[in-house]
Structure 1
């Protein structure tokens, strides 16, 4: 990874540092636009053809760029087109869920090279959980067909409050003096960027999923908790301190249920996967029947079991997911009235129930939002599903290294 380390170095003298900056821009353009000619690069960067030619030749020597033959578009003397060498660099995405981890790699040309999903893991704010996370990442890299020295950077997603600029996590693993990103970088040897999981999932859908080609999008991560990623004018919106999108912690209900955040009455307390799991267990204890109880006791029932029960046409599970959907829809109606978005994408575990949750959500939206506002808002289910967080983490790491978009 000598080239990438050299590209990131800021200790070089002025001319070399400037050349590195231009090289990064060249790679970024090729990554976003595909194969281009040197005259095209010259125009985009407003830099002379000889200068661009020299830098492209250096990138070819480093096996980052390749000459892919003559242009089929230009008339007259056809110039050569240049593009990236896909396997010259990879970006690792780590998506941490409540009870498992998904990991994947994309190459320099944005192709998903490998993934490993549902790696068993329990997320807690304890040292042993952080140590286990580092071991899982290192094991994935060791078992991958991709050489570790070709992994340029890692994007890692966590739920809760994350400041992606400083690299600090304020919900998990905040017992080190250094930012979490620095700690992970030292533990794995890979340049690391951390991000809130819902924002990363939103970015994944925006780049390669249901939100592709849209500019103003809300992504709702309907899982154990409720998270939101906001894209405005094609850019992730963070807010002043980097914590925008805490949709699940709007004080929505007049109840005495204490939320994970320590407050009472948050939307999450009655309309999340955690709330669904609690409600389902209580119903079973009070005598309701379900196909789930044939195999396990109420206290052993997890969200994944309930989601599968919905898919298996379990009446209790379907009734309760509809109840959760109606409450979510009322909350989403508020978002539509506030943001008037082009698109709302529903992802996370609850969204896996498809129409079972989508129909009550849409019904509540029609009931509680303004007709003139909701008419132009599409509601879609995630296209990337379980891969959304991994893809988003990979692309965010790539774009931050290349300073793309």
Structure 2
């Protein structure tokens, strides 16, 4: 990609802003004609023709041939040139990371899932993360200079505009995005992990034409991603979606946020893990009983619990269903407030499929207004455990070009 164009974007020149709008259009529409593009951007056909010509010459766009029409001249279709730039996504989990790279069109070029990594909120943990990313880049066969941005998914409070993370790796006065840019020698952006999953599902998952969506991420914690009128909703400081920290239960369980009674304390992956251990140690039977005996040396993972559910372990299924009922009651409240077209159940616990989604749906019907919930389709994530990494890569690209 032309480095001059990247400098123009940073400066914010008028021509660069128009080119950003053209790239954003093609990110969402794939291909289109000059006439369609001029209508979308509210610019004259000659003006758009000039920009398209420049961007084809500079290698950002390709001419994909003539559009078949019933008569008259066949206009050319234009779209993004896949080889003009690459974008890396890094999806951080509790016991692993996923790293992927997409080309300019959004096709996944390389993907590494479940790279071993124990998440520790320390400088050493951050350095190890950077080491794994650089190792991934080193093995790529593409031109490394064409890597335009790396986006990290981080749980908790993240301000994507300022680049600050307030939950993880917050060791300096500077934004985390700036620190990682310095360490990796590539431009870095950061975003909340649930928001990234939401965007991934919106771009390449189960979303078709829907524009008002809630994505519920049921992983170690609980978060929601919100899309309103086709735009991801961040909130003023990027903190929208902290669903797991709504005060819900009258209990004495201290959440990792420091408060008691949060939704996460009884309806999350962390709650599933804690409750399962308590019940097994109190004498209830599970195929994980022997595994729990070694829990102190080698922590039990959510993947192992989900595997037990798939093997029809009665205790694990029972706890998952109870969590689904509690979550469904709270999601019913979200439906009453937002009246969404689509509610997507995603995250690690969504891999238990009907065991968690059916109790959620039952509770939604019970606790939300009938007139409102009939508008909302409840679906399980299509991308499943790939939602986060797809979203991270897509955000790495969109953050470069969207205003």
Whether TM exceeds 0.5 here: the answer is: yes
Within the candidate set 211, 221, 225, 1:225 is matched to 221
Q: CA RMSD in A?
A: 2.2
Residue 192 in 1 paired to residue 180 in 2?
A: no
The answer for the alignment partner of 1:264 in structure 2 is 260
* Aligned CA distance change for structure 1 residues 371 and 35 (closer, same or farther; 3 Å): closer
- State the TM-score, normalized to the length of structure 2: 0.92
SS at the partner of 1:30? helix
Distance 1:11 1:89 in 2: 15
Q: Number of matched residues?
A: 400
SS at the partner of 1:271? coil
Counterparts of 1:346-357 in structure 2, within 5 Å, are 346-357=345-356
Counterparts of 1:87-166 in structure 2, within 5 Å, are 87-166=83-162
The answer for the alignment partner of 1:362 in structure 2 is 361
Q: Select between 274-283 and 137-146 the one with higher mean Cα deviation.
A: 137-146
The answer for the alignment partner of 2:4 in structure 1 is 6
- Conserved in 1, the CA contact under 8 Å of 2:8 and 2:16? no
SS at the partner of 1:122? coil
- State the TM-score, normalized to the length of structure 1: 0.92
TM-superposed deviation, 1:259: 0.2
TM-superposed deviation, 1:326: 1.4
TM-superposed deviation, 1:294: 3.9
SS at the partner of 1:361? helix
TM-superposed deviation, 1:53: 4.1
- Conserved in 1, the CA contact under 8 Å of 2:9 and 2:17? no
TM-superposed deviation, 1:306: 0.9
The answer for the alignment partner of 1:216 in structure 2 is 212
Within the candidate set 269, 286, 300, 1:273 is matched to 269
SS at the partner of 2:325? helix
Counterparts of 1:172-183 in structure 2, within 5 Å, are 172-183=168-179
The answer for the alignment partner of 1:246 in structure 2 is 242
Residue 301 in 1 paired to residue 300 in 2?
A: yes
* Aligned CA distance change for structure 1 residues 278 and 146 (closer, same or farther; 3 Å): same
Within the candidate set 286, 290, 297, 2:286 is matched to 290
Distance 1:11 1:87 in 2: 19
- Conserved in 1, the CA contact under 8 Å of 2:252 and 2:261? yes
Unaligned residue ranges in structure 2 (runs of 5+): none
Distance 2:203 2:146 in 1: 23
- Conserved in 1, the CA contact under 8 Å of 2:90 and 2:99? yes
TM-superposed deviation, 1:56: 3.1
Counterparts of 1:45-56 in structure 2, within 5 Å, are 45-47=41-43, 49=45, 51-56=47-52
The superposition leaves residues 345-374 of structure 1 with CA deviations (integer Å, 9 ceiling, x where unpaired) of 111111100001111112222222222222
Counterparts of 1:331-350 in structure 2, within 5 Å, are 331-350=330-349
* Aligned CA distance change for structure 1 residues 145 and 13 (closer, same or farther; 3 Å): closer
TM-superposed deviation, 1:203: 1.1
Distance 1:217 1:47 in 2: 31
Distance 1:200 1:11 in 2: 23
- Conserved in 1, the CA contact under 8 Å of 2:198 and 2:215? yes
